[in-house]
Structure formats: C-alpha cells, structure tokens
Chains A and B, each alone.
Chain A
Amino acid sequence: MATSTITENTLNQLLIKDAPIPIATLDTELKFLWYSQKWTSTHNLTCNLIGENFFSVMNNIPKEFLSVLENCLSGNPCNSEGKKYIAVNGDYIWLKWHINPWKMANGEIGGIIIVLDNVTRSKNKEELLKEAQLFSKIGGWQVNLQDFKVSWTKMVNIIHEEPLDYVPKTYEECFSHFKEGEHRDKIYELSKIAITQGIPWDTEVKMITRKGNEVWIRTKGQAEFVNGKCIRIFGICQDVNERKIAELKYSEQAKRAQKATSASNVGVWEFQTKDRHTIWDDMCFKIHQVDPKKYENAYQAWASIIHPDDFNRVIDEAFWVSKGEGSGVIEYRILLPDKTVRHLKAVATFVTEQEKYNNIAIGVITDVTKEKENDKRLREYSEITSDQNDSLRNFAHMVSHDLRSHATNLSMVTGFLLDERDENEKFKLMNMLKEATESLNSTVHNLNEVVQSSSNVSEQLIPIPLKPAIDTVINNIGVLFKEKNAKTIINVAPTVEVLAIPAYLDSILLNLFTNSLRYSETNRPPILKIDVVINKKHLELTFTDNGKGIDLNKFGGKIFGMHKTFHRNKDARGVGLYITKNQLEAMGGNISVESQVGVGTTFKLIFKTQ
C-alpha cells in the first residue's frame, strides 16, 4: 500500500464506516479520527472512540505495539500476517496488521490508517495443527502436473531426512525416495491410477531416507481434475515407522502363535461364570467334533457333546478353580454320536474377578485320548508284568521248595542205600527211592502245567459240552470214588456248553474231585454236587462237597496261592488249586471259595460262554 494523501474533504467517512474490515484512522497523537464498525466488533468495543487515544480504549493491546505505530508515524508502512503478543490480561493475542501513514495537504504525516485484526482464534488453530503435524509426523506435498513442479512441507523433508530446502527437481525424483522394488512399483501404480482414473490412494510403504535409513510411511494422495484433465496430485506423507514395525512384529508373533496352536491342535476358549457365555476358536469346535453352525453358541455345543456323567463334575471343578483351588486342569470326556468316547484336557486360568459372582476363565483344550489310551495300555502292561512277576515268584518258590526237598531226599536215601547191609532196610529204602522219584516226576509235571496255564489263551477257547467232560473225569478216577464210597449229584443239562481249552477243563475238574475226595471227612461218605447257573455271557459252576472244610479265617486269600496249597501229598498234586485258578483266569474266568470247617466246601467257578 502506498502512502495516501488524505484531505478532510476527500475522506469519505461513510466509506470507512461501512468497510468490511477493521480499519481506523488515527492522528499523530494516536487519537481516533474514524473507524469502521467492523473495528468495534473485532475488538469488542462499545463506546465512542473518536478523539480517544488508541491505547486508552484498546486496553488489551500491549504497550509494545506502540513501537509499531511509532515506526509507521515516522513514515514507514508496516505489515504483519500475524504476530503473537502477551495481552494486558495475560492471554496470548495474535494481531495481524497493515498500517500506512497518511499525509496532510502540506505533505506532513497527519497520522496513520490502520487495519488491525485479532487473529488469535485462527492462529491458535493453526498452531495446534502445526503441533499436531509435528507430533504425528505428517507432512503435505503436491505436484503440479502442468509444469511438474513439486512442493513439500518441511515435515516431508524431516521424514526424508533431507535438508529443509530440498525439493525434488522432477516428477521422477519424487519416486526415487521409495524403496526400490515392490514399494516403489506400488506407488508408481497407485499414482498412475489416481491420475488416470481419479481413484485416491492410502497405503503404507517403505522409503529410504537421505541417510540411508529404511522408514515406513503412510502415503495418501489424490488427484485434482479441471475440465477432465488432471492438473495436480497432492496428499500427505506420514512417518509410521514405529507403529508399523511394532505392528509387523505383533502380527508375526500372532501368526507364529496361531501356527503353533493350530499345529499342536490346541483350542483356545474363554468362559464367563455368570451367564456361562463361552467363546471358542475354530480348533475348539474341531476338538469337540461339533459343527458350529448347528448351535446357537459355544456353551450349547459344549453341553451337548460332553459326556453326561462328567457335566456336573466339570462345573463343580470349574467353580473350585475360580476360587483359586486345584491345579486348573480339568479333564472330561465327550460322547460322540457314534458312541465313541474321547478324552479332553482343559487348562484354565481365571482372570481377575470382573464383578462379584462373575469370573472370566481363559484356557486351552487338547484331545488327550491317545495319551489316555497309552496310559491305560501301560497300566495293563504293568498289571500283566506284575502278575507275571507273581507267577515267577511262585514258580521260584515251588522250585526252591519242592524240587529241593525231593532232590535232597533222593540224595540222602541213595546215600543210606549205598551203606546199608540189612536186606530189609535196603528194601525199605528202595521203596522210598521209588516214592521220592515219583514225587519228583509229579512235581515236574505240575511245574510244567503252571508254566503253560500262565500264558493268555483266550483265543484258543472252544465250546465244550460240560456234562460229558464231567462224566469223563469221574470215570477216570472211578477207583478213588469206589475206595471212598463217594456219591455225585451232577445237575447239568446235556446241552450246556462252556468256552474252554479241553485239557484245562479236564485238569480243573480233576483237581476239584480229587481235592474233595482227599479231604473228605472220615465219618461220612463224600457227596459231591455240581450245579450250574447260566448268565448272559458266563456260566457259574458251583462245586459243593461235605468234606473237612477249610478254615478260611486262617487260610483266607492264600488258598489259591502257593504258600498253603503246595504241600507234599502222596500223589503230589498239591499245586492243584493254584493251577486251577491260573487255568480259569487264562480262559477269562475265575474261582472263589466258601467253606465251613467240618461241614464242607463250595467252590464257585466262572466260565465264559460267549
């Protein structure tokens, strides 16, 4: 604005008054001559200003401003697009001004024409924006497509670690900052689409700074069209490196975790105790073998598949875990539609109580059926091993006891025989020798039977009619029956069959008969009775005698063991009950005994029939 020459007559007061800008004229003493209405509204003034001193009415303008006015009064026009002052009331105040001196007719300066705007508000916003840009590291850029001139804000230079006065010289140079390869190609492609099709872009790519650092930026751009022709592209450039790297790291970890969980077949779940609201991942549904589409929610799916016998227990255990008790491991079974059962193992952790009576548990679940089965198999093996150990110990005992006693007897008797001169005594010793030899033979035979009956033979079972088997045994020991004057009552229908190995069945029956006859009471003839009860898969054979009986309080469980049964009888069949038990068990059956001393003994034998 040039210095104005104003005469009182030419000054159009009305023009000033209605000017749409805050304008005023002051004299050399800074008293108001005229002012626009906009002036009063801009500076919040109500009184009449004419004749008043500038600072006496503009009471929020700091005194420092005087130097600006004085400078102008001395003939220098002053302009400012915005300057920050601390106002009289202590607030910041932004002032924007254009001030020119005006000259009177005589050429002397008569005062100043001042346009003074309070731009505090917009300046504050601008400052905030600047700060925000600084904070969020956002810069702006544009390319004029008519002359390919590029302009950047300072922040773009900072992000690029370029000198603040750097600007790309050519359009091509703009792209050289992006990392060569996929990143640069992507930006080429996106900007081409924006220019040709008007589609804006917003993406994240890597760029290389002047210092050679690799930085992730977010770049956003759009094209401006005039008459269907693209005249410029512009947008922002934001440094998102820290966030992006953290994000990539997280996503990599998340991917790894997901891979790990899916590879290890671990399901992840969440459960809320208050309303039993349950969240399952896909793997949970897979492990429970339920179709998520068939159920309203995961809890319903769970409730439908869990083994009914386990439901209440799991709820109880979950409650205890929520109280901080137990290991947090809850195992349960699921019952599939085809009736197969699978074993699942959940590990639960309760996160802090959200509100009273409402806990949230999170955890994992795995299918442990295989482990359970292995465990079971292992236990079975261990049982078999333990059984076999017992058998071996028994066997060792038998060998230790019986073979030894026969062997020593043989050697002693033989020794005596060699020295004996008396013929009668010799004959007696010869008989003993025969007896001892037979006992030894019999014992070896029994040991053989023990070894054979110890192995599992359930595959070799065949159906055998029971009645004929019993009859055969009775016939074979007919002499013994006659000798003891014994009677039999066999209540077995001719059609009844048991699953057995013929040799075992013979041996078992023979043992029962000979035992009963051997331990018969002398004052009454033996009566041996057999009854059978047929169940679904088993046959129960009851063998009752009226013999001496066994004091079970004394013998107890040992009756089928080695300790009490293995004694030397004349026929050396002392291992009888031990073998009987072994043979029955090998065929999937068992034996038990009831007895009363002086009354008789009842053996109960279970045979398989199917």
Chain B
Amino acid sequence: MAKINSVCIIDDDSIFVYIAKRLMKESNFCEKILVFENGKQGIEGLLEIDKNKKEMPSIIFLDLSMPIMSGWEFLDSYANAQISNKDDLKIIVMSSSINPNEIEMIKAYPMVTDYIVKPITPSDLDKIICL
C-alpha cells in the first residue's frame, strides 16, 4: 500500500508523463495518477473534483512551459481559485530549465513546496514522500 493515494501531473510532454508514471509505479509512490496536458485543463480539473467532492490529489507535479496555459498562469489561477483544503495540497514545480531567474521567480510563490529540475528521478520521489 502506497503512502500517497492520489497525485496529479500537469505537463504537455507525453514522453515525460510516461516516464514519470512509470517511475511512480515502480517505486510504489502512489495509488492514482491524474494527468492534465496544460494549466487550463489542470485548474478546470481540480475545480471539477472539488465541486463533486471527489478525492483531491495530495501532490501536483507542475510543468512550467506549456501551451494555452503555462505553469505560471496555473499558479496565478490556483491562487485565486475557490478550492477547499488548499493547505493539504503540495505543488512541486518541474522544469527542464536550469535558468536561475526561473528558480528565483518560483520562490515568489508561497504555495510551491519544491522545485525539481527534470528529469525526475527515484530519489526525487523519495524526497517528496518525506516532505
């Protein structure tokens, strides 16, 4: 039985999503994985879950560069969204970028728990469980 029940991945890179899913399964990281292709789908999906009183994921893995609605916009929308028990939800930002400005900007978002530079590794997942 995994420690975490449900996580959510918001990323448009299908290959990365596949890799992440596979790693999570192999390390028994969680029971359920929700996937959204961009920030817009992500925020709409979360609002839908909250509205229907379904189980909210406890961790969101968020990519930054996405079409339609980027990770940055998702964070802005999420901050203003009416979602209950936001405190129980951890947001982990993932990016391929090693741009120091980006990392600096991420720190300005208090709801972001951690920042991971892609690719995601089993040790990243271990660390996240301990958060």
Contacts and interface: CB of A to CB of B under 8 A. Distances in A.
Interface of A: 396-397, 400-402, 404-405, 408-409, 411-413, 416, 432, 435-436, 548, 554, 563-564, 566-569, 574
A401 B97 contact: yes
**Main SS of the interface on chain B?**
loop
B51 interface: no
A435 B68 CA distance: 21
A239 to B, nearest CB: 84
Nearest to B67: A567
Interface of B: 12-16, 18-19, 22, 65-68, 70, 73, 76, 95-99, 118-119
B111 to A, nearest CB: 18
B96 A401 contact: yes
A362 B76 CA distance: 64
A400 B99 contact: yes
A567 B99 contact: no
B102 to A, nearest CB: 9
B63 to A, nearest CB: 9
A566 B15 CA distance: 17
A227 B83 CA distance: 136
Nearest to A564: B70
Nearest to A415: B19
Q: Which 5 A-B pairs have the closest CB atoms?
A: A405-B96, A408-B119, A409-B15, A401-B97, A404-B96
B98 A554 contact: no
Given A404-B118, A409-B19, A568 B99 contact: no
Contacts, number: 61
Given A397-B97, A400-B96, A416-B19, A567 B119 contact: no
State the main secondary structure of chain A at its contact with B. Answer: helix
Given A401-B95, A401-B97, A413 B67 contact: no
Contacts of B14: 432, 435
Contacts of A566: 65
Contacts of A416: 19, 22
Contact of A436 (B12, B15, B68): B15
A402 B96 contact: yes
A443 to B, nearest CB: 11
B66 A405 contact: no
Given A409-B13, A567-B70, 17 more contacts: A396-B99, A400-B98, A400-B99, A401-B65, A405-B96, A405-B118, A408-B96, A409-B19, A412-B15, A413-B18, A432-B14, A432-B18, A435-B14, A567-B66, A567-B67, A568-B13, A568-B65
Contacts of A563: 65
Contacts of A401: 65, 95-97, 99
Contacts of A436: 15
Contacts of B66: 567
Nearest to B23: A412
Nearest to A402: B96
A402 B67 CA distance: 14
Contacts of A396: 99
With most chain A CB atoms within 10 A of its CB, the pick from B12, B16, B68, B76 is: B16
A416 B97 CA distance: 23
B96 A397 contact: no
Contacts of B12: 567-569
A436 B15 CA distance: 8
12 contacts: A397-B99, A400-B97, A401-B97, A404-B97, A405-B118, A409-B19, A416-B22, A432-B18, A435-B15, A554-B73, A563-B65, A569-B67
A596 to B, nearest CB: 16
A68 B34 CA distance: 148
Contacts of A411: 119
Contacts of B22: 416
Contacts of A409: 13, 15-16, 19, 119
A240 to B, nearest CB: 81
Contacts of A554: 73, 76
B115 to A, nearest CB: 14
Contacts of A432: 14-15, 18
Contact of A412 (B68, B95, B119): B119
A396 B13 CA distance: 21
Contacts of B96: 400-402, 404-405, 408
A408 B67 contact: no
Contacts of B67: 567, 569, 574
Contacts of B13: 405, 409, 568
Contacts of B16: 405, 409
Contacts of A397: 97, 99
Contacts of B70: 564, 567
Contacts of B119: 408-409, 411-412
A563 B96 CA distance: 13
B65 to A, nearest CB: 5
A397 B97 CA distance: 7
Contacts of B15: 409, 412-413, 432, 435-436
A548 B68 CA distance: 9
A274 B98 CA distance: 68
Contacts of A564: 70
Given A405-B118, A554-B73, A412 B19 contact: yes
A412 B119 CA distance: 8
Contacts of B98: 400, 404
Contacts of A435: 14-15
Which one of A400, A412, A413 has the greatest number of beta carbons of chain B within 10 Å?
A: A412
